[in-house]
Structure 1
Amino acid sequence: MRLILVRHGESVGNAAGVLQGRLDYGLSDLGLRQAHLTGGHLADLGADRVVSSPLLRAATTAAVIADAMRLEIGLEAGLAEYDIGEGAGLTPSQLREKFPELLKSRARGERFLFPGEEGRDAFHERLADALERLRQLEGTTVAVAHGGVIGAICHMVVGLDLDRPGAFMVGNCSLTEITRDRAGRLVIARHNDMCHLSGIETTVDRG
């Protein structure tokens, strides 16, 4: 089993600096360039399949990669980004204005819950189920997802608290590879590899 997690290329929402959640932003022009470079880099990999989050920014990235690899795309709903509810589509300043309790919660060391938010327990359960499905697949799987999703999967693999922020940075179109060791345990073989992006790396991730 070899799982290569790819964060989508820069989206219009990334470029605008908004919290995206489940809002279905497409790729920016730069994001499309990143996707093509990633597809070219992975073209000779010999993967067995490409799967993707159903959200447009991921599915478009996956389509470019799959075309370069001459593979079809399978959609995996479990890889969709965290649903941030009413926080989606807002910049940090807009979030603070609309939800004044946000900063107060953070000052108390508490996590603010936006109205309509998915909830971390539900998110973690969803990702655990998706990871279990992916780990059962033989050969090499390229899975295109989101920064929050890939970071959370890395937390699961190494056994860190899933709510610990900032442990894994995930750049646009970066590659994170998960394999099994001799004992059958999942391990991170590489993380946030952006060497193929030729100086057009972007790392902003607000979900």
Structure 2
Amino acid sequence: MTKLYIIRHGETVWNAETRAQGAKNIQLNEKGLLQAQHLGKRMKNYSIDAIYSSDLDRALSTAQAVAKEFQYKVNIIPELREMSFGHWEGLTNREIQEKHLTHYRIWRSKPHEAQIPGAEKLLDVQSRGLAALHRIVEENPNKNVAVVSHGTAIKAILLGLMDMDLSNFYRIRQDNACINVVEFREYGPVIVTMNDTAHLENTL
């Protein structure tokens, strides 16, 4: 059985400012770096055999904090990167509502149908994310693997693993530096833990 620890990156300035990041390469802020350190120490409790990450720096820095505890190198997979939010990137939540209200309302009520200007579709994000995840599982039979990605991408992936429609996107929460544990058993993936942030109690 292969076990994946699917992790969201630590906090960035844009997270704190509620700005859409998407494909923009935003760095971890001071709090995010601290979260990554606590995450690394938490992951030291598990027998991790390999570490994978999105190619965006906020995910890679988080993965490197885990890799440091094991003296591993991080395997980079661009398909794990965040959804591109097109024209919304860099805008705060309020600015998006002011400038793109019609598309915003669809994104908030029917995310699976949203076509944000210049952005990826949620289904495409899910497809590439699941393909990357299944490739990781195939490459690591009966191993424990840490995978660092992004909030929107992870939520789409988890829904896909549970064979749930993307219309349920907002029924899942993913906090910065959270851990999701998924076991890939003979009969399919099993979600063991979701949005675990117990290691961040001293960083709030």
TM surpasses 0.5: yes
Following superposition, the deviation at residue 108 of structure 1 comes to 8.4
Partners of 1:124 and 1:21 in 2: how far apart?
A: 14
Please give the TM-score of this superposition, normalised by the length of structure 2: 0.90
Mapping for residues 27-106 of structure 1, pairs under 5 Å = 27-102=28-103, 105=106
Is the CA contact 1:9–1:27 (under 8 Å) kept in the aligned structure 2? Answer: yes
Letter in 1 for 2:174: V
Tell me how large the CA RMSD over aligned residues is. 1.9
TM-score of the superposed pair, with normalisation by structure 1? 0.89
Q: 1:122 to 1:106 in 2, by over 3 A?
A: closer
Q: 2:148 aligns with which of 135, 139, 144?
A: 144
Q: How many positions carry a matched residue from both structures?
A: 200
Q: Deviations over 1:159-191 (max 9, x none)?
A: 11023231211111111011033x431100111
In structure 2, the residue matched to 1:205 is: none
Identical-residue share of aligned pairs (%)? 28
In the alignment, which residue of structure 1 is the partner of 2:158?
Answer: 154
CA contact (8 A) 2:4 2:183 kept: yes
In 1: Cα distance, 2:106 partner to 2:90 partner: 21
Question: Does the 8 A contact of 2:155 with 2:169 survive in 1?
Answer: no
Deviations 1:20-71 (A, max 9, x none): 1111110010010000001011123221111100011101111111111211
1:130 counterpart (129, 132, 137): 132
Contact 2:6/2:179, CA 8 A, preserved across alignment: yes
Q: Which sits farther off after the overlay, 164-173 or 19-28?
A: 164-173
Q: Cα deviations across residues 4-27 of structure 1 (Å, max 9, x unaligned)?
A: 011100112101111111111100
- Choose between structure 1 and 2: higher helix proportion: 2
> Does structure 2 conserve the Cα–Cα contact (< 8 Å) formed by 1:39 and 1:69?
no
